[in-house]
Amino acid sequence: MNEKLIGILAGMGPRSTAPFVDLIIDECQSQYGAKYDDEFPKMMIYSLPTPFYIDRPINHDLMKETIIDGLQKLESTGVNFIAMPCNSAHIYFKELKESINIPILNIVEETVKKLPTISQKVTLFSTSSTFESTIYQNGIIHNGHEFIFKDEWQIKLNNLIQNIKMDKENPHNIDIWNKLIEDVKNESIENIVIACTDLNVVLEKSYPSINIVDSSKCLAESVVNKYLKLVK
């Protein structure tokens, strides 16, 4: 079952790589009952440092060039398709897709389609760059949901993401997270789209009583779906 090769362009940010690979392993076990080591797929994982910053403007041209270079390097290894567990990278999805000759899974599309089929209130936890691009808001509204967000939440999210990048074990991180969840509940919001892979560090330590649609998990599920279609 291992003749196909999955490409993972990761490292954006660095702490998000290992949790994403773990999610793929979990999906292999749940989707087709993988048990022994040789029942799991081959993966080529490229951890790519990028010029991304929470606390200053991003040079989008440089960011795009860096990601394209990473995609092309990964393509050259013979992978059959690529997943990028980084929501901000999908701001440039059209150009990235055109830069290589193999498929790239779209984390935004895979995430939005996991929202409830009936119209509900939805908010978004992401970096400022992902939020400002409106790639998620457009998809959420297009699928018939009401999008709700408060500007002060982004300030808290930016602080949380920066803290995680510097010290993922900082106990203050979970305090910020819990306050954000409380704020969201107070607005009668029913769904949170988690569109920053760094947030998995706190997500895996909490069990909020609200529907969480985690972009990392949605992408991991899609990776294994795609892999299984290729090996049939």
* Mean pLDDT taken over the chain: 93
Where do the structural domains in the chain lie, given as residue ranges?
A: 5-107+217-231, 110-215
pLDDT at 170: 87
Confidence of residue 65 (pLDDT cuts 50, 70, 90): very high
Confidence of residue 156 (pLDDT cuts 50, 70, 90): very high
**Domain spanning 5-107+217-231: which CATH class is it, in words?**
alpha beta
pLDDT at 1 over 70: no
pLDDT at 57 over 90: no
| SS3 of the chain | CCCCEEEEEECCCHHHHHHHHHHHHHHHHHHHCCCCHHHCCEEEEEECCCCCCCCCCCCHHHHHHHHHHHHHHHHCCCCCEEECCCCHHHHHHHHHHHCCCCCECCHHHHHHCCCCCCCCEEEEEECHHHHHHCHHHHHHHHCCCEECCCHHHHHHHHHHHHHHHHCCCCCHHHHHHHHHHHHHHHCCCCEEEEECHHHHHHHCCCCCCCEEEEHHHHHHHHHHHHHHHHHC
pLDDT at 146: 97
Q: Report the alpha-carbon distance of residue 216 to residue 10 in Å, rounded.
A: 12
Q: Do the Cβ atoms of 54 and 127 come closer than 8 Å? A: yes
Q: In what order do the strands lie in the sheet with 121-126?
A: 146-147, 121-126, 191-195, 211-214
Q: Annotated catalytic sites, by residue? A: 86, 196
pLDDT at 2: 58
pLDDT in tens, 99-152: 999 999 999 999 999 999 999 999 999 999 999 999 999 999 999 999 999 999
Q: Is 110-215 assigned to CATH 3.40.50.970?
A: no
Percent share of the chain, pLDDT over 90:
80
pLDDT in tens, 178-196: 999 999 999 999 999 999 9
Do 5-107+217-231 and 110-215 agree at the fold level?
yes
